[in-house]
Structure 1
Amino acid sequence: MTRRGGDDTTANGRDRGREQGDSSGVGRRWFLRSSGAAAGAALLAGCSSSGNGSDGNASGSNSSGNGSTGNGSSGNGTGGSDNATTGGNTTGNATASGPLGVESFRGSGPLVESRPPLDGTRIAELPDLSGTLSIYLGGGEGGLYTEFLDLLGQMYPDFNVELRTASSAQLANTLITEVNSGSTNADVFWAIDVGALGVVADNDATVELPTDVVEPVPESFRPDNQWVGVAGRARSVPFNTDTLSADQIPNKVQRFTDAQPLEGSMGWAPTYGSFQSFITAMRLLRGEQGAKSWLRGMQQQGISEYPDEFLISNAVADGELAAGFANHYYALRVKAARPDAPIELAFTKGDAGALINAAGVEIVKGTQRRELATNFIRHLLTAEAQEFFATRTFAYPMVPGVPPVGGLPTIDELNPPQLDLAKLSNLEPTLTLMREVGVL
């Protein structure tokens, strides 16, 4: 397999909406189901940043059900180095062919023992994968995506993957250069954040995906069929249930700056990529002054800084913090290792705090393997693949027939803002304003 690194894109997609106004009342609270060991405590990493840290790759899936977690922290993120390895065949050690059952894709542990029957396209319904596919894999997936490719290799011994890994942004820039020069080397771009996918699409370096392939996915995660989301991550507010009750968590992110129960007891990770995407969303929805005002308000609230959001979630569970800002799956990971930890999740409504980002895929313009690339994307959207992402990474499935784990709301039940996700890659203005207020 091939690997390489970096992450610094810009996007010129169009903002599709404005932040919804504040409403009274409390947002819906979702309570995590306990589990002695969650389905492979590996996580889907958030998009990387150009600050001092990135969302860790949190690898180390645990299939033995012993409650251990992966090695995820901010130090193992997407990386910016060029220490790639080269190779190409992920399927050389396949021992069997033919469709594997969903159990082969599903994680282990009590969290997934009572999974309901799944709906959606099954791998057995699709044509076999056969031939060689060049995939540029962008971001800190921590080995989870290559594990998925290995499962496909077990099913399809004639399917070979030439894999190049690096940061999403670096690969996006490489792809644009290759397409413009007429020397495309990739067939598929698979990235952990849609901003990089959007940059490639905006530079006319992709081909349109067939509607029948992507239509099960919500429209906001398949704009103009240029790319399609395969696994989502939601911004959330983990809170300590021994310290706070659900109705003390505001349902609008703007209200956190004067929420008295949260004064001096919250945590954030400003150098973390997903946090910077959250502030980018706030900047796009409320303007630079609105974002600055919120950051200053949280500073006046005495918010504490952490290097990553997994540490924030652990601090909440330990009672060190009353609440914090983090991607949803970190609280699940804490509950996986500590079923009795007093941590639950709250979600805001219709604002930057309710942002849902995603990992996704697109077909690169100039590929000579378009049919194989399309069939591969079909496989990523099967019930088996979506169950893999849901139960091994705790990500949000993108097809309605596969529910999220841990008692989470479905994507349809969340209230994300109306926003062109591709614009989240334009981090420079966000980093500038964060520096101006002293957050970075």
Structure 2
Amino acid sequence: MNILTRLESVPVNSFHYRLLFIIGLGWMFDAADTGLVAFVLPSLAKEWGLSAQSVGYIGSIGLVGMALGAVLAGSAAERWGRRKVFAATLVTYGIATGLCGLAWNYESLMIFRFFVGFGLGGQLPVAVTLMSEFSPAAKRGRFIVLLESFWAVGWFIAALIAYLVIPAFGWSAVFFLGALPAFYVFWIWRSVPESVRYLLQKGRYEEAHNIVSRIERLGGKKPPKYQEAAMNGDCSAAASLTSQASSFSLLFQPKLAKRTALLWILWFGLVYSYYGIFTWLPSLMVGQGLAIVKTFEYVLMITLAQLPGYFAAAVLVDRWGRKNTLATFLLCSAVAAYGFGHSSTAVTVIGWGCAMSFFNLGAWGVIYTYTPELYPTTVRAVGTGWAAGIGRIGGIFAPAVVGWLLPQTGIGWIFTMFMIVLAVIGLIVLLLGQETKKQVLAEHM
């Protein structure tokens, strides 16, 4: 039995849950930073006298960094390993977030936000690739959606920090708190192993064997002894893998081109809608006449709805399948976005906002499950990174588009636009997507 077969056959045990928690905390810190800037913007705009367009550019510059970070980190993870890049990106965005608290003018803040985005964009696709490559096929969907659920926790923490800190200490203090995750890298370096699939691809068989043996012991199985002769199956697989260059061009080979196109469209639309809606959410509410403190209270309620959305997706993704779950959540998110944009009372704002949060973030959990499953090991990190990078282009445009449209059209038309985007990508998944439920991750094309 070769190493990959052993890895897939290990029962879910404390190793998998510990890895989920450790990577999930990194995911939570990412979300907290993204949320913090959304809550800071209303206070910052008032203090610096920024126009709606200037506020939109602050949101967009972070997405420029995220797009570049996602693409470069995916390639770096194929070359130097998932764990090293995961740790490096965490340090990058942590330090850059702290520097945002020292920003002395609009231009300096823009520069620091770019580097925050670079670190954030690099971490997310690498983290999900690492978690995917350790998760057993039968439970992979649930694990990835649960990983994504840490995003909701991070947003809730961001809303809570903004609610308690900004009125008392100002926006700079929020960014200083956001720098603390940089210290988390020491725990990651000690606790997170390198991907077994990556090690095999690089011919590091004994390291891979030792990691799988530790997982087997935690799962109550006795691992076999390491013998060169027993590695023949792994050597053959690795030779097949390394014979294919891990390059961008492989994403457009006949077998992968349709998947790549589907994922790029899907990521672009989902990221466009998410960052257009949630980066602006507190500011849009303030613009409707709500006080900043009351806005934070409403956003806290809306943010809490993300958690049951993730949990519902986690239950459905391995039972109902990736394709059906993702399409349903996207279409329901489209309906909720329209309802939110045309709400006129506090009750309907909160109700439609919670529905929008529930379905939009549930869809995020599924897309992070679905993306790495469509690529073989040789290009999994690269493919996931490029999909996320193309998505960030949508995120770059969205905050700026909202800033440009808001004075001209109002909230109703803006959320009608988001409804159309979400409905289109939901239908594309339904018509063109393929199901990957409970399939073992492919090693080569």
Relative to the length of structure 2, the TM-score reads 0.24
Relative to the length of structure 1, the TM-score reads 0.24
More helix per residue: 1 or 2? Answer: 2
More strand per residue: 1 or 2? Answer: 1
Q: Which has the larger radius of gyration?
A: 2
